[in-house]
């Protein structure tokens, strides 16, 4: 079974702090994704990566950056956290972008920015 | 802009009945459509994928239809059980996924 793990289930940070969210997958998947999920808005794609050191902006990249130094690890960085970044953050991975791109999700990190 | 709409936020249904969920989309021509299940506090779990040239797909008690003319997918849970209670998300894909907001299903015993 594919396993996607995220470094924290719950996180509380202060406005202006730099925040790192880590994601690790164990199935040698090429692609990794970061989403945020807010009530009534569904999952929105922040960034994704289709190879080591490669990244592409999603629908809402502003205020975020990402890093993928190793194939199994994809980090989301909030350079200066703001209260409107309080959300559930979900990481996912997939084997291929073609043929439907079935994704495997981690358990999520609920981030609160005070 | 692209828009994905799932039917009313919550669906309450008696055990044993069929739950039918709707996913409508505009300004989009996806090659694939997927359905995921999400339990509270957990990440989504993949259920089914249907391709644009397929009309219907089944998996156990689940059935998905995909009408590219109507720009609509229907998701059916037959003989529903309390364990089917969850939020169900539709997602349209070309090389990345775009998700609807989800429909929460509660199955009463």
pLDDT reading at A79 higher than 90: yes
Mean pLDDT value across residues A90-99: 87
Q: Which residues of B touch A33 (CB under 8 A)?
A: 96-97
Torsion sign over Cα A26, A102, A39, B103: negative
Edge to edge, the sheet with strand A73-78 lists A4-6, A19-25, A73-78, A64-70
pLDDT reading at A112 higher than 90: yes
Residue tagged 């559930």 (tokens):
A88
pLDDT bracket for residue A2 (50, 70, 90): low
Half-sphere exposure in the Cβ direction for A3 (13 Å, CA): 3
Question: Please, are residues B100 and B44 in contact by the beta-carbon 8 Å criterion?
Answer: no
**pLDDT per residue as tens digits for the range A7-53:** 999 999 999 999 999 999 999 999 999 999 998 888 999 999 999 98
What is the rounded distance in angstroms from the CA atom of residue B36 to the CA atom of residue B45?
5
Choose among A90, A100, A105: nearest Cβ to B32.
Answer: A100
Q: Is B71 exposed, middle or buried (0-12, 13-18, 19+ CB in 10 A)?
A: middle
- CA of B63, closest CA in chain A: separation in Å? 18
> Residues 6 or more apart from B11 whose CB is under 8 A from it?
B19, B21, B103, B104, B105, B106
Question: Please, are residues A28 and A71 in contact by the beta-carbon 8 Å criterion?
Answer: yes
**pLDDT per residue as tens digits for the range B48-105:** 999 989 989 999 999 999 999 999 999 999 999 999 999 999 999 877 889 999 999 9
Q: Supply the pLDDT for residue A96.
A: 82
Burial A87-100 (b: 16+ CB within 10 A, else e): bbbbbbbbbeeeeb
How many helices (H) and strands (E) in chain A? 0, 11
Are the Cβ atoms of B46 and A103 closer than 8 angstroms?
yes
């Amino acid at each position: 079974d594919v396993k996607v793990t995220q470094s924290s289930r719950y996180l509380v940070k202060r406005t202006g702090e730099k925040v790192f969210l880590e994601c690790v997958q164990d199935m040698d998947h090429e692609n990794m994704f970061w989403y945020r999920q807010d009530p009534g808005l569904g999952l929105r794609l922040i960034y994704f990566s289709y190879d080591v050191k490669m990244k592409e902006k999603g629908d809402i990249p502003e205020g975020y950056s990402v890093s993928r130094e190793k194939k199994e690890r994809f980090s989301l960085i909030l350079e200066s956290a703001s209260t409107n970044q309080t959300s559930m953050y979900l990481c996912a991975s997939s084997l291929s972008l073609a043929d439907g791109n079935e994704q495997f999700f981690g358990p999520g990190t609920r981030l609160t920015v005070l | 802009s692209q828009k994905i709409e799932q039917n009313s936020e919550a669906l309450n249904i008696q055990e044993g009945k069929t739950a039918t969920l709707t996913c409508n989309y505009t300004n989009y021509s996806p090659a694939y459509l997927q359905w995921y299940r999400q339990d509270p506090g957990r990440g989504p779990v993949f259920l089914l994928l249907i391709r644009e040239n397929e009309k219907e797909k089944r998996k156990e008690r689940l059935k998905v239809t995909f009408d590219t003319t109507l720009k609509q997918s229907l998701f059916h849970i037959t003989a529903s059980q309390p364990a089917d209670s969850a939020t169900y998300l539709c997602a349209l894909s070309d090389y990345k996924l775009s998700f609807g907001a989800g429909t929460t299903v509660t199955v009463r015993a």
